[in-house]
Amino acid sequence: MTSAISLRGVSVSYGETPVVEDLSLEIAEGECFGLVGESGSGKSTLLRAITGLAPDWTGGISLFGQARGKSIDRRFSALCQMVFQDPYGSLHPRQTVDAALSEPLTIHGIAGADTKVPAMMAACGLDPRFRFRLPHQLSGGQRQRVAIARALMLSPRILLLDEPTSALDVSVQAEILNLLKRLRREQKLTYILVTHDLPVVSFLCDRLAVMRQGRVVEVADVAALRANTMTHPYSREMVARSERRV
Amino acid sequence: MSEPLLDVANLRVRFPSPGGPVEVVRGVSFTLGRERLGIVGESGSGKSLTGRSILRLIRPPGIVTADRLRFSDIDLLRAGEWQMRRIRGARISMVMQDPKFSLNPVMTVGEQIGEALAVHKRLPRGQMRRRVLDMLEAVQIRDPERVFGLYPHEVSGGMGQRVMIAMMLIPEPAILIADEPTSALDVSVQGEVLKLMNDLITRKGMGLIFISHDLHLVSQFCDRILVMYRGRIVEECAAGELDRASHPYTRGLIAAVPRIDETREELPVLDRGAWEEAGA
Ligand SMILES: Nc1ncnc2c1ncn2[C@@H]1O[C@H](COP(=O)(O)OP(=O)(O)OP(=O)(O)O)[C@@H](O)[C@H]1O
Ligand SMILES: Nc1ncnc2c1ncn2[C@@H]1O[C@H](COP(=O)(O)OP(=O)(O)OP(=O)(O)O)[C@@H](O)[C@H]1O
Ligand SMILES: [Mg+2]
Ligand SMILES: [Mg+2]
């Protein structure tokens, strides 16, 4: 069976600086894959390479068996969407919530924005009053939900989520995590979820990879995370520090 | 606690809207001493706006009123814009929730931290650079020499947070308002950064307002916690006693936190309507 996401020897660099080195992963359709690790270890960069936003990479990236080229490709954007770590950066400052959510439909020639926009807002827990607001008129967590809603507008089959809930209070986080879980069950979506929050991985993911300095140091089943049987010293340190906090 | 560093009474923030003015901060009162005060609460409940109001950073058409807004002996409500400029960043500083977009996009991160230091202390160029590199190292940046010369869009999410923290701590302010300062940090780096903040609290008597969604973190790191909901403080408790909180909103929050050995198929969500109508 072809993987939903297949990465073979992927390396990414910015100028002279290598940021991701020789990374290989196979992620099955319908799987939720957690990506955790040190701040600055290359997690966001890897997601950007998969979406076609990293300038300089080598190796092989394919989605459902189709190899991705070096440039942005519209076929891939309907297939694979990304929710960025900084919602401020991914939303246009002069674009209302309504415009941000309708735009992907317009670009891909899909009708029905009038009903689809409010429905998606409701699914992501956004009050209808926010529909004509600008990003700076929303709180951090509200902006994040707009970014998630926007990524879902095209019904992609792959969703790359970069810290999607770290700006949300835990009750809203619970709503979003439940929504992501439901979408995945109903539509067989495939996720890569970047987070620093191991309990979030435990709730949503099937497997996880731990990154450090551009490399994956361990790939494990989420059962190993729950039972504290991961093996790499850095993974064990992360788990120990997270456990102490409960 | 002797004289509070900060005294806020009946703080309100309003914005005009088509249906008339909407109040988003609705009568918030608290004092801050040389302590770690945590603020948690619903997304959109007014935490960031409360922080920004203290620094008078709410732009028109937003309107801020309060019965009292004092920083030691300074009346922040009456302070002129020139006086506010001398307070911001030097005596009260704020780590913004979106650090990468609060940094100057056309200046390297090293230069920006250097500029923040210059507000506090004039130093020769070489020494300045040394201090900035030390600070980058203190916030656990690998390869400070390289990062010194990067622009904000060239650093990772968590590096941006740490750059902002470095910038806000280097002038050794009397009060630090930290809005979700560690949400993009892995647990090890987070621990080191918190130590650094703590150090300024114990060594220099800094007061800290720590806004966060991370209930475990706040209950372990802070002394006291305020819980906000829809523009109001609905509960206050000693940090260690958060698990004994009584307000239904706070109880709901605690139940919604996933665990590292999580096996629930669904996380409980708040049924806000139920207890709001009951007048809670
Ligand atoms: N410029 C504005 N105009 C109108 N409403 C605004 C404006 N800025 C903020 N608000 C509203 O004020 C409320 C409080 O916002 P604030 O940013 O303080 O929330 P918060 O508690 O920090 O939330 P989060 O945890 O999501 O960051 C929100 O509902 C937001 O939509
Ligand atoms: N445009 C750029 N130019 C130069 N270096 C960059 C650029 N973007 C990212 N980097 C570097 O790449 C490295 C990895 O960054 P990345 O954002 O992928 O990390 P991350 O694992 O997502 O970290 P975090 O958890 O803090 O978000 C960092 O050292 C960063 O400085
Ligand atoms: Mg990142
Ligand atoms: Mg906020």
Which residues 189-218 of A have a C-beta within 8 angstroms of B? Answer: 196-200, 202-203, 213
Q: Where are the beta strands (DSSP E) in A202-246?
A: 207-212, 215-221
**pLDDT value for B272:** 64
Record the tokens describing residue A228, joined without a space: 């504290």
Dist CA A49 CA A35 (whole Å)? 15
Interface test with A, best of B257, B260, B272 (most A CBs within 10 A): B260
Dist CA B173 CA A80 (whole Å)? 45
- The residue whose CB lies within 8 Å of the most ligand 2 atoms, and thus the one to mutate among A10, A12, A13, A17, is A17
Report which bound ligand comes closest to the CA of A167. Answer: 1
* A10 CA distance to ligand 4 middle (Å): 36
Q: Which of A167, A171, A199 sits opposite B183 (nearest CB)?
A: A167
What letters, b where the CB count within 10 A reaches 16 and e where it falls short, cover B237-256? bebeebeebebbbbbbbbeb
List, in sequence order, every residue forming a beta bridge with B229; answer none if it has no partner: B232
What are the chain B neighbours of A221 within 8 Å (beta carbons)? none
Dist CA B166 CA B193 (whole Å)? 9
Percent pLDDT > 90 in chain A is 67
**pLDDT value for B177:** 97
Mutual angle of helices B248-255 and A170-187, in 10-degree steps: 40
**pLDDT value for B158:** 94
Task: With cut-offs at 50, 70 and 90, classify the pLDDT of residue A246.
Answer: very low
- The residue whose CB lies within 8 Å of the most ligand 1 atoms, and thus the one to mutate among A139, A142, A170, is A139
HSE-CB at A120 with a 13 A cutoff on CA atoms is 24
A163 — contact with chain B (CB < 8 Å)?
Answer: yes
Q: Which residues keep their CB under 5 angstroms from ion ligand 4?
A: A 139-140; B 48, 97
Residue B260 · residue A226 · CB < 8 Å: yes
The alpha carbon of A216 is separated from its chain's Cα centroid by a whole number of angstroms, namely 17
Dist CA B108 CA B129 (whole Å)? 13
Alpha helices in chain B (DSSP H): 47-54, 81-87, 99-102, 109-120, 125-138, 144-148, 157-169, 187-204, 215-221, 248-255, 272-277
Q: Which of A166, A175, A227 sits opposite B183 (nearest CB)?
A: A166
Record the tokens describing residue A75, joined without a space: 């076929």
Residue A85 · residue A44 · CB < 8 Å: yes
Q: Do B252 and A171 touch (CB under 8 A)?
A: yes
* A197 CA distance to ligand 3 middle (Å): 13
Nearest CA in chain A to B252: A171
Place of tokens 């809207």: B17
**pLDDT value for B279:** 45
List, in sequence order, every residue forming a beta bridge with A5; answer none if it has no partner: A27, A63
Place of tokens 């608290």: B30
Per-residue pLDDT of A228-245, as tens digits, reads: 999 999 999 999 988 765
- ipTM metric: 0.90
List, in sequence order, every residue forming a beta bridge with B226; answer none if it has no partner: B39, B236
Interface test with B, best of A169, A172, A182, A206 (most B CBs within 10 A): A169
* Residue located nearest, by CA, to atom 25 of ligand 1: B43
Task: Determine the Cα angle at B81 with ends B75 and B83, to 5°.
Answer: 60
Cβ within 8 Å of residue B160, ≥6 positions away? A86, B99, B100, B103, B152, B184
Query: pLDDT tens digits for chain B (280 residues)?
Result: 467 999 999 999 999 988 899 999 999 999 999 999 999 998 899 999 999 999 999 999 999 999 999 999 999 999 999 999 999 988 999 999 888 788 999 999 999 999 999 987 788 989 999 999 999 999 999 999 999 999 999 999 999 999 999 999 999 999 999 999 998 999 999 999 999 999 999 999 999 999 999 998 999 999 999 999 999 999 999 998 988 888 888 898 899 999 999 889 999 987 765 555 554 3
Q: Which of B97, B262, B270 sits opposite A140 (nearest CB)?
A: B97
The one-letter code for the residue type at B164 is M
Per-residue pLDDT of A34-53, as tens digits, reads: 999 999 999 999 999 999 88
Task: For B202, list phi and psi in degrees, rounded to 5.
Answer: -75, -35
**pLDDT value for B276:** 57
Q: Do A239 and B40 touch (CB under 8 A)?
A: no
Cβ within 8 Å of residue A243, ≥6 positions away? A228, B260
> Which region holds residue A205: left if phi is over 0, alpha if psi is between -120 and 50, else beta?
beta
**pLDDT value for A167:** 77
Residue B253 · residue B229 · CB < 8 Å: no
Q: In 3D, which of A147, A171, A38 has the Cα closest to residue A91?
A: A147
**pLDDT value for A124:** 86
Task: With cut-offs at 50, 70 and 90, classify the pLDDT of residue A91.
Answer: confident
| Selected residue with higher pLDDT from A149 and B89 | A149
| Residues near ligand 1 (Cβ within 6 A) | A 136-142, 169; B 15, 24, 43-49, 62, 97
Place of tokens 């076929």: A75
Distances (CA, A) of B265 to A140, A161, A204, B113, B257: 27, 20, 9, 46, 13
Task: For B217, list phi and psi in degrees, rounded to 5.
Answer: -60, -50
A186 — contact with chain B (CB < 8 Å)?
Answer: no
Residue A193 · residue A85 · CB < 8 Å: no
- In chain A, the domains with their CATH numbers are 3-245 (3.40.50.300)
| Selected residue with higher pLDDT from A69 and A196 | A196
Dist CA B161 CA B156 (whole Å)? 9
**pLDDT value for A183:** 85
Task: Determine the Cα angle at B271 with ends B267 and B277, to 5°.
Answer: 170
For B2, other C-beta atoms within 10 Å of its C-beta total 6
**pLDDT value for B122:** 84
**pLDDT value for A158:** 96
* A59 CA distance to ligand 4 middle (Å): 40
Dist CA B98 CA B116 (whole Å)? 18
Q: Which CATH class is domain B6-259+266-277?
A: alpha beta
Q: How far is B71 from chain A (nearest CA, A)?
A: 26
Per-residue pLDDT of B92-140, as tens digits, reads: 999 998 887 889 999 999 999 999 999 877 889 899 999 999 999 999 9
Dist CA A17 CA A134 (whole Å)? 36
Dist CA B124 CA B130 (whole Å)? 10
**pLDDT value for B280:** 39
**pLDDT value for A76:** 82
Task: With cut-offs at 50, 70 and 90, classify the pLDDT of residue A175.
Answer: confident
Q: Do A172 and B42 touch (CB under 8 A)?
A: yes
The ranges assigned to domains in chain B are 6-259+266-277
Per-residue pLDDT of A49-85, as tens digits, reads: 999 888 789 999 999 999 988 776 777 878 999 998 8
* A80 CA distance to ligand 2 middle (Å): 21
Dist CA A113 CA A121 (whole Å)? 12
The alpha carbon of B226 is separated from its chain's Cα centroid by a whole number of angstroms, namely 13
What are the chain A neighbours of B154 within 8 Å (beta carbons)? 14
What are the chain B neighbours of A166 within 8 Å (beta carbons)? 180, 183-184, 213
Record the tokens describing residue B206, joined without a space: 């800094």
Q: In 3D, which of B109, B154, B108, B114 has the Cα closest to residue B130?
A: B114
DSSP summary character for residue A137 = G
